[in-house]
Chains A and B, each alone.
Chain A
Amino acid sequence: MPVDDPVQHERFMRLFVEHEREVLRYVLAVVPHLPDARDIVQETAVALWRKMTEYDPTRPFLPWACRFASIEIRRFLRRAEQQRRLLDEQAVEVLLARQEERAASLMTRRAYLRECLEELPPPQRQLVRGYYWEEQDVDALASQTGRSTEAVYKALQRIRQALFECMNRKASLEGAST
């Protein structure tokens, strides 16, 4: 049943707004295309809203919301199955399970993303900026930089890898000094 009580309704809104980005992050890990991930989160919002009366406020909201998100991810995968452009349910399941195990360490590393991004050489930073901030697709970036499409998405992957290593390094140094 959806929430009828306006106070409870307001509380749901607050909780959801507070955690929406984290839910989106959870979904993006397996459905990397942002508009698709947003669709899934939207379906999750509706599902959560319908089940809000079942939520136990003494328990953390995010894991509860992520459970709903994982159901919506599976539904989305089933709908998209024909196009076979997304991982299958089994692979997603093992990934999500592993992601939950690693949640704490990911949180620690995340804080260093900005610093690591600033340390990137300018051409790499420009590429990442073009892709993520200006939302240019790989074809556009390829023609701008005179590279092949495959070279561009491989370059993006190497940058992600480098950023991850940098974040990891900074997180472990910080861990060692505290």
Chain B
Amino acid sequence: MRPPAPELERLVAAYLASRASAEEVARLAERLRTDAAARDYYLDTAEVHAGLALDESLWAQPAGDRVVPMPKPEPFARARGWKLARLAAAIVACLALGVLWGVKHFSQVARPGIPGAGEPRPAIAVLARAVEAQWGGAASNLQEAAELRVGTLELLRGTAQVDFYSGVRLVLVGPARLEIRSAREAHLERGKATCEVDEQGRGFRLAAPGMEVVDLGTVFGLKALANGQTEVHVIEGKVAVGPTGGRHYTELGKSQAVRRVDNALEAIAFAPNEFPRSADLKRSADAESARRLLAWRDAAAALDRDPAVLVHFAFHEEAADGGGVARNLAQSAARGSDGMVIGARLAEGRWPGKRALEFRGRGDRVLLRVPGAHDSLTVAAWLRVDAYQELVTALLVTEESRRWQGLENGQPPVALAELPYLPLRWELRNDGQLALNWQRADRSAGKGWHIHWADTDLKPGRLGTWTLLATVVDGARREVVHYVNGREVGRRPAMIESPFALTRLCLGNMSSTEAEAKAGIRYGFFGRMDEVIVANRAFGAGEIARLYEIGKP
């Protein structure tokens, strides 16, 4: 390849990085149309670009005699192999729906766990509680209820409780670094941990630099200091303490404490108060929850005063229980915008004392009417997805009249005195893709929907935690932006053909057509919703981030 002219090199570089301005793209196009050598230069490097982007095996690392693909760093983890059966099911179901978005929804779902584990391994513990915890390393977005596998936890600050399925409970005080080695062994590289072991967990081995403690049915504290010193304090029962890799253990009883100095153990003052117990952590967690609930109430009341907020459900009233009414708290709420709750029941929400609406798929849903036509929209929901039962879960949809009137093909819908509207669907796919799609005005081209999706972390193995999903349609900028837990996860150009008339909204479900019902296709949400917001203004990234900060459990 002859070296290209600097101008061509710069244009191609900018274009392949998706950074070229309109004027640069025009200049590049002109060169490519008229100059054969420029075309070859472009294609040569575009071919390398495609190879680097698509061939994951390039990044493989040798591991013994096998080649193991490197785990892709979060949050971008994306296994790209397609599974035949899922592809088949997806295409059939999607064409039945008239909606198909995101090639990646066919891809294999990444297994959750502490990042660093190269291949999926069984979960051996759960993050039972985290108080003001901030995590470092690849697991920085670790949340309560996350399942843990072999790997390292880096707790930068706060306190966390890890429950091993083998019957051991570790309370970790940050800053700390803990390597989970197996169901019966962990290594505290630095920081403090309290270990509570029941009968089943006897024999659990907790190591620290230079020292190993074998639990003999007890509660003890272990401290690994930055200077390499380690301390053990036996709070209840007894433990066996020995040097790493050694054969001789010393037994320590209740209220005894030792420090390892130069491979020997020396007695030190017993300091049980340095080691928080799981019951202490529960009390702190409850107090933190109560503070958060109060702060959220103030913020929610302010949100209700925003004239752009059309719908605000918080589901904390008794009346919302199955068959009841969910009150729309927005002060500018229109008539009919209270939600008619079908099937869903009240259950515990994000905090103790806060309620949520629990959906169990099937027919469960909330129906409401929202008048007017809107140029921009924000939809947000605090929800906990418990499972995906279907390929597509309807979060909030406007049902086309054919669908909600249960008509078969050929039957004309009943004419209604309401704004004509194009169906809009805010939905979640079973591999965690979030989308806001709306029907095209002209369906004659055979492609029925404008599709705007983003990949999220709500993969099947990562469900069961409270999550804020938000999607903003900005009519002025003509774009759709998706957010998860206050952070942007995708931005797409929006093909807006007319203002959005929401009219008949359905929360947590969508009626199946005859054909879909016959094929067993349903759209029910399976989990809890704690708060739902619909506004006719595009919320900015800062507002969404605040919704998350104030609302996080």
Interface residues of A (CB under 8 A from B): 2, 9-10, 13-14, 16-17, 20-21, 24-25, 28-30, 32-34, 38-39, 41-43, 45-46, 49-50, 79-80, 83-88, 90-91, 94-95, 98-99, 102, 106, 109-110, 113-114, 117, 128-129, 132-135, 138, 149-150, 152-154, 156-158, 160-161, 163-165, 167-168
B331 CB to nearest A CB, Å = 38
A85 contacts across to B, CB distance below 8 A:
18, 20, 22, 25
Q: A85-B20, A95-B39 are in contact. Are A28 and B50 (CB under 8 A)?
A: yes
- Cβ B100 vs Cβ A42 within 8 A: yes
Closest to A28 in B: B50
- Cβ B88 vs Cβ A10 within 8 A: yes
Q: A32-B15, A114-B58 are in contact. Are A9 and B88 (CB under 8 A)?
A: yes
Bound-complex Cα distance A16 to B13 (A): 31
- Cβ B33 vs Cβ A94 within 8 A: yes
Q: Which of A30, A34, A161 is most buried by chain B, counting CB atoms within 10 A of its CB?
A: A161
Could you tell me which residues of chain B, from 55 to 80, have a CB within 8 Å of some CB in chain A? Answer: 55-59, 70, 72-73, 76
Q: Which of A20, A79, A164 is most buried by chain B, counting CB atoms within 10 A of its CB?
A: A164
Please tell me if B42 contacts chain A, counting CB pairs below 8 Å.
Answer: yes
- Cβ A157 vs Cβ B9 within 8 A: yes
Could you tell me which residues of chain B, from 1 to 50, have a CB within 8 Å of some CB in chain A? Answer: 1, 4, 9-10, 12-20, 22, 25-26, 28-30, 32-33, 36, 39-40, 42-50
Interface 9-residue window, one of B101-109, B119-127, B391-399:
B101-109
A83 contacts across to B, CB distance below 8 A:
22, 493
Given contacts A46-B95, A129-B59, A168-B1, 10 further A-B contacts (CB under 8 A): A9-B88, A79-B495, A83-B493, A87-B28, A87-B29, A102-B40, A114-B57, A156-B13, A161-B1, A164-B48
Bound-complex Cα distance A28 to B49 (A): 8
Q: Can you list 17 A-B contacts (CB < 8 A)?
A: A13-B84, A13-B88, A25-B51, A25-B54, A85-B20, A95-B43, A98-B36, A99-B43, A114-B58, A138-B17, A138-B19, A154-B13, A156-B16, A156-B17, A160-B49, A161-B44, A163-B48
Q: A28-B46, A95-B42 are in contact. Are A110 and B15 (CB under 8 A)?
A: no
B12 contacts across to A, CB distance below 8 A:
157
Which of the residues A32, A43, A91, A135 comes within 8 Å of B33, measured between beta carbons? A91
- Cβ A113 vs Cβ B88 within 8 A: no
- Cβ A29 vs Cβ B82 within 8 A: no
- Cβ A29 vs Cβ B58 within 8 A: no
Which of the residues A99, A102, A110, A133 comes within 8 Å of B51, measured between beta carbons? A110
- Chain A residues touching B, majority SS: helix
Closest to B454 in A: A35
Bound-complex Cα distance A117 to B44 (A): 15
Which of the residues A25, A41, A161 comes within 8 Å of B50, measured between beta carbons? A25
Please tell me if B299 contacts chain A, counting CB pairs below 8 Å.
Answer: no
- Cβ B29 vs Cβ A29 within 8 A: no
Report how many residues on chain B are interfacial, defined by Cβ distance under 8 Å.
64
A28 contacts across to B, CB distance below 8 A:
46, 49-50, 53-54
- Cβ B22 vs Cβ A84 within 8 A: yes
A84 contacts across to B, CB distance below 8 A:
22, 25-26
- Cβ A110 vs Cβ B25 within 8 A: no
Interface residues of B (CB under 8 A from A): 1, 4, 9-10, 12-20, 22, 25-26, 28-30, 32-33, 36, 39-40, 42-59, 70, 72-73, 76, 82, 84, 87-88, 91-92, 94-95, 100-104, 446-447, 451, 493, 495
- Cβ A164 vs Cβ B47 within 8 A: yes
Q: A28-B50, A153-B19 are in contact. Are A134 and B76 (CB under 8 A)?
A: yes
Which of the residues B29, B46, B47, B52 comes within 8 Å of A88, measured between beta carbons? B29
Which of the residues A10, A43, A152, A164 comes within 8 Å of B1, measured between beta carbons? A164
A143 CB to nearest B CB, Å = 15
- Cβ B59 vs Cβ A133 within 8 A: yes
Bound-complex Cα distance A13 to B86 (A): 10
A109 contacts across to B, CB distance below 8 A:
47
Q: Which of B1, B13, B30 is most buried by chain A, counting CB atoms within 10 A of its CB?
A: B13
A16 contacts across to B, CB distance below 8 A:
87
B49 contacts across to A, CB distance below 8 A:
28, 32, 160
Bound-complex Cα distance A167 to B451 (A): 39
A33 contacts across to B, CB distance below 8 A:
18
Closest to A6 in B: B88
- Cβ B17 vs Cβ A49 within 8 A: no
Q: A46-B95, A133-B59 are in contact. Are A113 and B52 (CB under 8 A)?
A: yes
- Cβ B45 vs Cβ A94 within 8 A: no
- Cβ B28 vs Cβ A32 within 8 A: no
Closest to B102 in A: A42
B58 contacts across to A, CB distance below 8 A:
113-114, 117, 133
- Cβ B91 vs Cβ A49 within 8 A: yes
A156 contacts across to B, CB distance below 8 A:
13, 16-17
Q: A45-B103, A84-B26, A157-B45 are in contact. Are A132 and B50 (CB under 8 A)?
A: no
A13 contacts across to B, CB distance below 8 A:
84, 87-88, 91
Which of the residues B16, B43, B59, B495 comes within 8 Å of A157, measured between beta carbons? B16
Q: A33-B18, A113-B52, A134-B76 are in contact. Are A80 and B1 (CB under 8 A)?
A: no
- Cβ A87 vs Cβ B25 within 8 A: yes
A150 CB to nearest B CB, Å = 8
B216 CB to nearest A CB, Å = 45
Bound-complex Cα distance A109 to B519 (A): 47
B45 contacts across to A, CB distance below 8 A:
157, 160-161, 164
B18 contacts across to A, CB distance below 8 A:
32-33, 85
- Cβ B46 vs Cβ A46 within 8 A: no
Q: A10-B88, A42-B103, A154-B13 are in contact. Are A132 and B52 (CB under 8 A)?
A: yes
Closest to B23 in A: A84
B302 CB to nearest A CB, Å = 34
B100 contacts across to A, CB distance below 8 A:
42, 46
Bound-complex Cα distance A150 to B19 (A): 9
Q: A29-B50, A110-B47 are in contact. Are A38 and B103 (CB under 8 A)?
A: yes
Q: Which of A16, A42, A106, A163 is most buried by chain B, counting CB atoms within 10 A of its CB?
A: A42
Bound-complex Cα distance A138 to B18 (A): 10
- Cβ A30 vs Cβ B46 within 8 A: yes
B26 contacts across to A, CB distance below 8 A:
84, 88
Bound-complex Cα distance A98 to B37 (A): 11
A78 CB to nearest B CB, Å = 12
B29 contacts across to A, CB distance below 8 A:
87-88, 90-91
